[in-house]
């Protein structure tokens, strides 16, 4: 298991000035990024960057949420509720009540399938590692335990070699991120963005 603490993430400002991104990890195959997991601080309404060819799963992790406007409708992105959409669509966001932070999983469906699931305490569970892929926990609230490690909000734990024992008490919340690599994706290399 590998743990990336929130305080070790490197902040990169957006070119449009509307926020910042902190990359958490990525899966690469040669020079190609197959998937990416990151946190974004959104401080104003604005257009999303185009990630044509990628599926995007966005989860608001702090703040009041935002409305995502697409050419054919809208989606409400509310705290703790993952929303999935085509990364190549023209999307404009409108903040509901001030700045927010969201977690973004983006992946190429030609190489892998991804999902984000919200888990709230109290409960205990053994999470079986993916056979071909990777899984991670990103903490929303509280101080959940993964194996013998206590995590804090914004921390991310990755497990790709062993199963994980997960303990959440009342008030603990996290996102379980799963990526399943398709057959042709055996050469995908995990890169964790630690300083």
Residue range 8-107, CATH number: 2.60.120.10
CB 5 within 8 A of CB 195: no
Extract the tokens encoding 66: 């935002």
H/E segment holding residue 118: strand 112-120
Record: fold of 112-192:
Jelly Rolls (2.60.120)
Give the predicted TM-score (pTM) of the model: 0.94
Q: Give tens-digit pLDDT for 135-172.
A: 999 999 999 999 989 999 999 999 877 888 999 999 99
Q: How far is Cα of residue 145 from the mean position of the Cα atoms in its chain?
A: 19
Residue with tokens 């919340």: 173
pLDDT for residue 1: 86
List pLDDT tens digits, range 78-137.
Answer: 999 999 999 999 999 999 999 999 999 999 999 999 999 999 999 999 988 888 889 999
**Cα–Cα dist 46/35, whole Å:** 24
Taking the domains of the chain in order of start, what are their residue ranges?
8-107, 112-192
For residue 158, what are its two tokens?
């990755």
For 23-39, write each residue's pLDDT tens digit: 999 999 888 899 999 99
């Amino acid at each position: 298991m590998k743990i990336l603490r929130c305080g070790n993430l490197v902040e990169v400002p957006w070119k449009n000035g509307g926020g910042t991104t902190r990359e958490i990890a990525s899966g690469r195959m040669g020079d190609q990024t197959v998937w990416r997991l990151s946190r974004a601080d959104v401080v104003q309404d604005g257009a999303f960057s185009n990630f044509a060819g990628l599926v995007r799963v966005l989860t608001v992790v702090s703040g009041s949420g935002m409305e995502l406007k697409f050419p054919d409708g809208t989606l409400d992105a509310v705290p703790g509720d993952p929303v999935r959409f085509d990364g190549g669509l023209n999307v404009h966001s409108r903040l509901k009540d001030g700045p927010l932070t969201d977690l973004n999983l983006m992946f190429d469906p030609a190489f892998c399938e991804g999902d984000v699931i919200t888990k709230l305490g109290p409960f205990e569970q053994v999470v079986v590692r993916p056979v071909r892929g990777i899984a991670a926990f990103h903490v929303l609230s509280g101080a959940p335990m993964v194996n013998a490690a206590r995590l804090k909000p914004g921390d991310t734990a990755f497990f790709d070699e062993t199963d994980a024992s997960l303990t959440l008490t009342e008030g603990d919340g996290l996102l379980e991120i799963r990526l399943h690599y398709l057959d042709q994706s055996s050469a995908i290399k995990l890169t964790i963005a630690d300083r």
